[in-house]
Amino acid sequence: MKKLIDKVAVVTGGNSGIGLAIARAFIAEGATVVVVGRRAEAVDAATADLGPRAVGLVGDVADLATHDRVAALVRQRFGGADIYVANAGVNLIQATPDVTPGDYDAQFLTNARAAFFGVQRIMPVLRDGGAVILTSSIAARKVLDGHAVYAGSKAAIEAFARNWALELKDRRIRVNVLSPGPTATPILAKLGVPATDLPGFEAQVAGLMPFGRLAEADELARAAVFLASADAGFVTGVNLAVDGGVSLV
Residue 198 clears pLDDT 70, i.e. is over it? no
pLDDT band at 205 (very low <50, low <70, confident <90, very high): low
Report pLDDT for 202: 63
Count of CB atoms within 10 A of residue 107's CB? Answer: 25
Of 2, 84, 150, 169, which is the active-site residue? 150
Mean pLDDT of the chain: 93
Q: Calculate mean pLDDT across residues 204-214.
A: 75
Number of independent structural domains in the chain? 1
Confirm whether 191 is domain-assigned: no
Q: Which residue has the higher pLDDT, 223 or 189?
A: 223
Model pLDDT for residues 56-76, shown as the tens digit of each residue = 999 999 999 999 999 999 999
Residue 200 clears pLDDT 70, i.e. is over it? no
Confirm whether 244 is domain-assigned: no
pLDDT band at 216 (very low <50, low <70, confident <90, very high): very high
Residue 189 clears pLDDT 70, i.e. is over it? no
Confirm whether 19 is domain-assigned: yes
For residues 130 and 128, what is the distance between their CA atoms, to the nearest angstrom?
A: 5
Q: Mark whether 154 is an active-site residue.
A: yes
Residue 185 clears pLDDT 80, i.e. is over it? no
Confirm whether 18 is domain-assigned: yes
Residue 181 clears pLDDT 80, i.e. is over it? yes
Q: For the chain, what percent of residues have pLDDT higher than 90?
A: 81
Q: Residue 167: how many CA atoms within 13 Å on its side-chain side?
A: 12
Q: Mark whether 150 is an active-site residue.
A: yes
Confirm whether 210 is domain-assigned: no
Confirm whether 74 is domain-assigned: yes
Report pLDDT for 193: 57
Model pLDDT for residues 30-65, shown as the tens digit of each residue = 999 999 999 999 999 999 999 999 999 999 999 999
Confirm whether 246 is domain-assigned: no
Query: CATH number for the domain including 89?
Result: 3.40.50.720
Residue 139 clears pLDDT 90, i.e. is over it? yes
pLDDT band at 87 (very low <50, low <70, confident <90, very high): very high
Range of the domain at 106: 8-186+217-238
Of 3, 7, 84, 154, which is the active-site residue? 154
Q: Calculate mean pLDDT across residues 113-124.
A: 98
Residue 166 clears pLDDT 90, i.e. is over it? yes
Report pLDDT for 136: 97
Confirm whether 245 is domain-assigned: no
Report pLDDT for 224: 98
Report pLDDT for 184: 83
